[in-house]
Amino acid sequence: MRLINRLILGAVGLGLLVLNGCNKTPRLGKDPVKKVIAAMTLEEKAYFVTGTGRNMAAPGNLKKEDRSPGAPAVGQTQELVPGAAGTTYEIPRLGIPAMVMADGPAGLRILPIRENDRATYYCTAFPVSTLIASTWNPDLAYKVGQAMGNEVLEYGVDVLLGPAMNIHRNPLCGRDFEYYSEDPLVTGTIAASVVNGIESQGVGTSTKHFAANNTETNRNALDTIVSERALREIYLEGFRIAVEESKPWTVMSSYNLINGVPASENYDLLTKVLCDDWGFKGLVMSDWFGGTDSVAQMSAGNDLLMPGTVAQANAIIKAVRERRLDEAILNRNIERILNVLVQTPRFKGHKPTNKPDLTAHAAVARAAATEGMVLLKNSSGALPLAAGTRVAAFGNTSYETITGGTGSGHVNEAYSISLAEGLKNAGYSVNKELRDSYERYLRTARQNGPKARPYMPPQLIQEMTIAPALAARIASEADAALITIGRNSGEFFDRKVDGDFNLTQAETDLIKAISDAFHSRRKKAIVVLNIGGVIETKSWKELPDGILLAWQAGQESGNSIADVISGKVNPSGKLASTFPARYEDVPSSRNFPGVVIDAAPAKVESVQADGMSAFRNPKASRITYEEGIYIGYRYYESFGVKPVYEFGYGLSYASFDYGKLSLSSQNFTGEITATLDVKNTGKVAGKETVQVYITAPSRKLDKPAMELKAFTKTRLLNPGETQTLTFVLKPRQLSSFDPVASSWIAEAGKYEVRVGASSRDIRQTASFSLDSDLMVKKESVGLVPKTKINELKRGSGTI
Ligand code: BGC
């Protein structure tokens, strides 16, 4: 088949050669890209901008008879790396190889075991992005990226479909674990480091999902109604930082609509903002089967449609023939794709070894995991646990520790270390009677429970009831209790409040029963949270002595948790998203997950082309971001709503003193440098993340009480050691987006600099003034909502 297609292509090529007056056929890499494009047939062009389709459950997608005559051959491209999410067409006569793309944010997702192949292709499961953000350590994020990128390279993939960097708008979003933070500065800074790390290996990234993809429910047909200002300041800002600081090879547009226009068909978003305002030079690809109108996608600047369908290619051919699509636009998009393609390892002839150093990468995963865990509570030094402590591990996820979320963010790792195993590896003795009964309980529950659906998380197994007599016996045998609470989520659905954001009754009962049993013997009980997103803590946090937020920490989870519990690593993670007192306190809680506006299934590509569409069948819906810019701490701090654990919060086994904050000037002229000393006043070495918030004057524009404008993590400071930290504040950090002027404006007046250990633990303040308004940057006009949004403003009360 492949041979026949090649023969046909060869004949076409020969014909063109004759027509071109015997000119040599240009080849990518040898001849200018524009010349190569000029030599492509319309069919080749249309198929080249639509990927080769998906090799699973896509009935009809690749039926030969549907394909236009002259379409390039699919050939073996889909099988180049089994389990990869998509590939582009190869056009051998022009020297164009395929480009292979695979997920995702926590490590490479490919098929680990393959038919007729004795080799294995396991990848490292790194900690989820929420944890990486909680490290507040861009250098570490870079190292994680490097290790991930190396696996991408050595397994023959060209572009990793990550990092995912949507904002944590609501804790119920099923994919929050793939995303970093409620704050765009943390999101953008960490994502840029991850991109730089991955791309240092000579492979590409796809920062996704551009943009405002903060909900999974009805994601393909959800119209996000959001103000220009909230878009610019909150939902686009992280992407801007990543684009400017790391120049990702590709950006993936999102499924949702923004103010009535699908993101992948959105000219304002993909051309005006991304290319004109930010100078993006890479290619934009759609999310898988995203959008409905391939011609509109081409025109908007969505260069590549993934995974690509024959129908899309045919629609493009027809539109060019009927002059509804200017071929010059197609050429522009192809040029962008080719400019990326020439950088790929496949184009450069790199031969994948299929043998990345998984041992070294596991060490990177373990180190990153320990640094992103957040110590939420540690009454009277409950942690660390001394060597030799006899530990009783309660909770299902002590034995089936969740390493990461599901869907495209899942990684096929070779092994994973449970908490119980990690404790054992660290030399603790783990109560055997308890371990045996949990393992028995979990086995039976799995056997009798529903079969796990592909791509979906296994059902949460209810915590078993520990009889008081058993609790008492174990409490007398063991020295300390660890109680894990686990959560899993993923693509296609959002979490629920009851039994997911809130603990189940069985979980609360477990924490209470075990804490009581251990306390009555003057022993400690520690809760370990094995979760991917924010949960409720207020109702139970007084019960245990300590709470360690371990997140979903990748394949080395158990070892990493044990490193922190033992004090081998002093915890230094801080929250990159707020833990509110109750779900109702979340400013977006009234506008999540949107309202259905048409009960009939929406006509989207995924329904037609995707065999697994049962749970993806979206309904046209709308979600209105009435909270505007007041997301996370911007809301809690501005409206006096006290969270349980605030943004930026996290304890250490050490303590830190903040010296006096000095500013280089009292008056802002171009930039100001803020300097202060941080001293480790504790008994063990530790790292501290220092956060710089600004309170800006608000004459014309409504402003949050404070906004994070810079942060730094100290090096590992020994007891008594001091480090001087310096922060440079530039006009951009003083400015807010004024939609009337389509510009970032710094208003004249007094600016307060608040330096703290968290958003509520401000240790030093100083102020400076700006004499007159500063127009910092003019942006393109667009993305304007068509209807008025009843947006939250300070003074308008809480919502
Ligand atoms: C997800 C993307 C992913 C793609 C390919 C989509 O369902 O939204 O994040 O990269 O699938 O697997």
pLDDT (0 to 100) of residue 452: 80
Nearest ligand 1 atom to the CA of 208 is 9
Q: In what order do the strands lie in the sheet with 374-378?
A: 374-378, 546-549, 524-530, 480-486, 390-394, 429-430
Catalytic residue among 103, 287, 303, 585: 287
* 479 noted as active-site residue: no
| Tokens, residue 56 | 């699973």
Cα(324)–Cα(332) distance, integer angstroms: 16
Q: How confident is the model at residue 328 (pLDDT cuts 50, 70, 90)?
A: very high
Ligand 1 geometric centre to CA of 56 (Å):
14
pLDDT (0 to 100) of residue 1: 41
pLDDT digits (tens, 9 = 90+) for 602-660: 766 543 444 444 446 788 999 999 999 999 999 999 999 999 999 999 999 999 999 99
Which residue has the CA at smallest separation from atom 4 of ligand 1? 288
Q: What is the mean pLDDT of residues 316-342?
A: 98
Nearest ligand 1 atom to the CA of 408 is 12
Residue 508's alpha-carbon distances to 323, 479, 500, 514, 541, in angstroms, are 65, 22, 12, 10, 10
Pick the closest to residue 464 from 437, 489, 494, 426 (CA basis): 437
Ligand 1 geometric centre to CA of 373 (Å):
27
Ligand 1 geometric centre to CA of 288 (Å):
6
| Tokens, residue 216 | 């999974």
Answer whether residue 258 shows pLDDT above 70: yes
Nearest ligand 1 atom to the CA of 103 is 10
| Tokens, residue 16 | 């063109």
Q: How confident is the model at residue 599 (pLDDT cuts 50, 70, 90)?
A: confident
Ligand 1 geometric centre to CA of 306 (Å):
10
Ligand 1 geometric centre to CA of 175 (Å):
11
Q: How confident is the model at residue 439 (pLDDT cuts 50, 70, 90)?
A: very high
Ligand 1 pocket mutation, candidates 108, 491, 494, 615, criterion most atoms within 8 A of CB: 491
pLDDT (0 to 100) of residue 465: 96
Residue 401's alpha-carbon distances to 9, 106, 370, 634, in angstroms, are 52, 16, 15, 33
| Tokens, residue 366 | 């373990």
DSSP letter, residue 324: S
Pick the closest to residue 628 from 592, 590, 596, 588 (CA basis): 588
pLDDT (0 to 100) of residue 59: 37
Partners of 113 in the beta sheet? 120
pLDDT digits (tens, 9 = 90+) for 187-230: 999 999 999 999 999 999 999 999 999 999 999 999 999 999 99
Which residue has the CA at smallest separation from atom 3 of ligand 1? 408
Answer whether residue 456 shows pLDDT above 80: yes
Which amino acid is present at 713?
Answer: K
Which residue has the CA at smallest separation from atom 11 of ligand 1? 288
Q: How confident is the model at residue 318 (pLDDT cuts 50, 70, 90)?
A: very high
Answer whether residue 79 shows pLDDT above 90: no
Which residue has the CA at smallest separation from atom 9 of ligand 1? 408
Residues in the chain: 799
Nearest ligand 1 atom to the CA of 164 is 9
pLDDT digits (tens, 9 = 90+) for 726-744: 999 999 999 999 999 999 9
Ligand 1 pocket mutation, candidates 55, 100, 103, criterion most atoms within 8 A of CB: 103
Ligand 1 geometric centre to CA of 564 (Å):
33
Pick the closest to residue 216 from 607, 589, 494, 618 (CA basis): 494
Cα(377)–Cα(444) distance, integer angstroms: 34
Nearest ligand 1 atom to the CA of 162 is 10
Ligand 1 pocket mutation, candidates 213, 217, 408, 489, criterion most atoms within 8 A of CB: 408
Q: Which residues line ligand 1 (CB under 6 A)?
A: 85, 103-104, 161, 208, 287-288, 408, 491
Least confident span in 115-129, 513-527, 785-799: 785-799
pLDDT digits (tens, 9 = 90+) for 514-548: 999 999 999 999 999 999 999 999 999 999 999 99
Nearest ligand 1 atom to the CA of 213 is 8
Which residue has the CA at smallest separation from atom 5 of ligand 1? 85
Which residue has the CA at smallest separation from atom 8 of ligand 1? 287
Answer whether residue 13 shows pLDDT above 50: no
Burial of 411 (0-12, 13-18, 19+ CB in 10 A): buried
Answer whether residue 797 shows pLDDT above 70: no
Answer whether residue 20 shows pLDDT above 90: no
Which residue has the CA at smallest separation from atom 7 of ligand 1? 288
Residues with Cβ within 8 Å of 392's Cβ and at least 6 positions away in sequence, in order, are 430, 431, 434, 474, 475, 477, 478, 480, 481, 482, 514
Ligand 1 pocket mutation, candidates 178, 288, 305, criterion most atoms within 8 A of CB: 288
Mean pLDDT of the chain: 93
Answer whether residue 580 shows pLDDT above 80: yes
Answer whether residue 410 shows pLDDT above 60: yes
Q: What are phi and psi of 506, to 5 degrees?
A: -60, -35
Least confident span in 15-19, 260-264, 337-341: 15-19
Cα(91)–Cα(98) distance, integer angstroms: 8
Q: Considering the entire predicted model, what is its pTM?
A: 0.95
Sign of the Cα torsion 683, 755, 165, 152 reads: negative
Ligand 1 geometric centre to CA of 41 (Å):
30
- Contact (Cβ atoms closer than 8 angstroms) between residue 264 and residue 286: yes
Ligand 1 geometric centre to CA of 476 (Å):
50
Answer whether residue 455 shows pLDDT above 90: no
Q: Angle at CA 525, nearest 5°, toward 524 and 529?
A: 145
Answer whether residue 345 shows pLDDT above 60: yes
pLDDT digits (tens, 9 = 90+) for 134-191: 999 999 999 999 999 999 999 999 999 999 999 999 999 999 999 999 999 999 999 9
